[in-house]
Amino acid sequence: MHFAWPTYRNPWECDVVSVVFDGADRPDAINPDHLRIDAHETDWNVIEVAMRVSTGESVPSGIDGVAAHVLVACRTTQLRRAYPLIADGEDGRFAGTVSIPRTVLGGKAEITVEVVGAFENRRRAIGCSLPWSIIVDRAEAPPRPGIPPLPTVWVDFAATDAPLPARRYTGSHAYVDVTACPPVLYLNRGVEGLQQLILSDTAKRERRRWRDMLGASIARYVANSLFRTAVEQVIPGEDEMGAQGPDGRIFRDVCEAVAAELPDTETVDDLYDLIASLPGNPGRSAEFWADVDLALDRMTSVSTTIAQICEEVRRV
């Protein structure tokens, strides 16, 4: 926050302590990794969210009467409602519970803690937390980026038991053996900290952003490897027969997923025919691979993850 009066330098830490739907406690609805409350899994009338916020910073110089409130905002319903929090025994800590009817929410709502104080006898905004989302409609909940569903092996790429291609590039973080049946994803244990970060279930803030970005990039790398291998296996049709797709269920699955994302293919058979028509047509081939790159970004949540990280960092 950049104002002409003193403010807190960093966002306040905001924890959702509990979520209750119509009197039923639902700790499984709290997604602290992505600062999200999943409220789309059940029917409910009222949600109660217990929150606790804190900061390790001292009160900015010249500021008196620090207070905090939760701001609930929903673009779909044009809701903006503030709920006061109560000081939690010491400076820099507040807590409270907000009760929100289902009828005032739609799609996705945001809850942010805003901190105010008096400066030269006027109330000023002096701090805030990163926003949490309340996901009311399932369509607003992006899938968590991460390692795709392939057999995964952690191995030091410099070790003798690593696959030969991995041993050639010992600094790489990932390698997909598409010749295995089914394909296998190898991750490099020799990259210090990679395994701890990727497998972390408690990463917060910057570590969480790096974990999500790495997970999404690995997922995209795997999807790209699988699809390019599938493309190489497509056989052009003869006479009036359509092109033949790849062998292996996982390669056909990734082709079906890509076909559903591309603008010019209604079915996977359309995709096979399009792939078969690319040789000798460099302009169409370049356009096709550009579309595929964008489709893979969407399929593996790379674009969604980048947008989410940028939104969070913008508020810091």
- DSSP for residue 179: T
Identify whether 258 is part of a domain.
yes
**ω into 182 cis (within 30 of 0):** yes
Bridge partners of 114, per DSSP, are 69, 128
pLDDT at 131: 85
**Is 212 in the same domain as 306?**
yes
Which of residues 172 and 248 earns the better pLDDT score? 172
User: Which DSSP helix (H) or strand (E) runs through 215?
Assistant: helix 205-233
- 10 Å Cβ neighbour count for 244? 15
- What is the mean pLDDT of the segment spanning 264-272? 91
Q: Are residues 100 and 160 in the same domain?
A: no
C-beta neighbour count of 79 within 10 angstroms: 14
Tell me the whole-structure pTM to 2 decimals: 0.55
CA–CA separation, 196 vs 61, rounded Å?
40
Q: In the predicted model, is pLDDT for residue 143 greater than 60?
A: no
The domain boundary, picked from 100, 120, 141, lies at 141
Question: In the numeric block, which tokens belong to residue 157?
Answer: 């790429």
Q: Is residue 129 part of a domain?
A: yes
Distance, CA of 184 to CA of 168 (rounded, Å): 17
Both 181 and 306 in one domain: the answer is yes
- Has residue 7 been placed in a domain? no
Please name the residues in contact with 103: beta carbons below 8 A apart, sequence gap of 6 or more: none
What average pLDDT does the segment 171-200 reach?
Answer: 87
65 CA to centre of own chain: 37
Residues 175 and 301 in one domain: yes
Most confident of 102-111, 145-154, 233-242: 102-111
Over 90: is that where the pLDDT of 224 sits? Answer: yes
pLDDT of residue 34 exceeding 80, the answer is no
If asked whether residues 218 and 298 sit together in one domain, one would say yes
Distances (CA, A) of 312 to 22, 132, 133: 30, 10, 12
User: Measured between alpha carbons, how far is 291 from 99 in angstroms, rounded to an integer?
Assistant: 45
Residue 315 banded pLDDT, cuts 50, 70, 90: low
Number of domains into which the chain is organized:
2
Percent of the chain predicted with pLDDT > 70: 93
Domain match, 133 and 18 both:
yes
Among 143-157, 214-228, 238-252, 293-307, the least confident range: 143-157
From the list 238, 274, 277, the residue with the least C-alpha distance to 255 is 274
User: What is the C-alpha to C-alpha distance for residues 316 and 27, in angstroms, rounded to an integer?
Assistant: 27
Whether 175 is in a domain gets the answer yes
Q: What is the CATH number of the domain that holds 22?
A: 2.60.40
- Do 298 and 160 fall within a single domain? yes
Residue 23 shares a structural domain with residue 85: yes
Check pLDDT > 50 for residue 146. no
Confidence tier at 175 by pLDDT (50, 70, 90): very high
Same domain as 184, residue 53: no
**With contact defined as beta carbons under 8 Å apart, do 229 and 245 qualify?**
no
Looking at residue 208, its pLDDT comes to 83
Residue 8 forms part of a structural domain: no
Alpha helices in the chain (DSSP H): 164-168, 194-198, 205-233, 249-261, 268-276, 282-299, 302-314
Within a domain: residue 147?
Answer: no
Residues 50-84: tens digit of each pLDDT: 999 999 889 999 999 999 999 999 989 999 999 99
- State the residue range of the domain holding 36: 13-141
Question: End of a domain among 107, 141, 175?
Answer: 141
Indicate if 135 and 284 belong to the same structural domain: no
Distance of CA 143 to the CA centre of its chain: 7
Q: Clarify whether residues 286 and 209 are in a common domain.
A: yes
**Residues 70 and 158 placed together within one structural domain of the fold:** no
H or E element in which residue 47 lies:
strand 46-54
Average model confidence (pLDDT) across the chain:
87
Q: What is the pLDDT of residues 192-219, one digit of tens each?
A: 888 888 877 666 777 888 888 888 899 9
Does residue 3 lie within any of the structural domains? Answer: no
Under 8 Å between Cβ of 147 and 172: no
131, part of any domain: yes
Last residue within a domain, chosen from 141, 171, 202:
141
Residue 288 CA to residue 224 CA, distance in Å, equals: 14
Average pLDDT in the 16-30 region? 93
pLDDT band at 148 (very low <50, low <70, confident <90, very high): very low
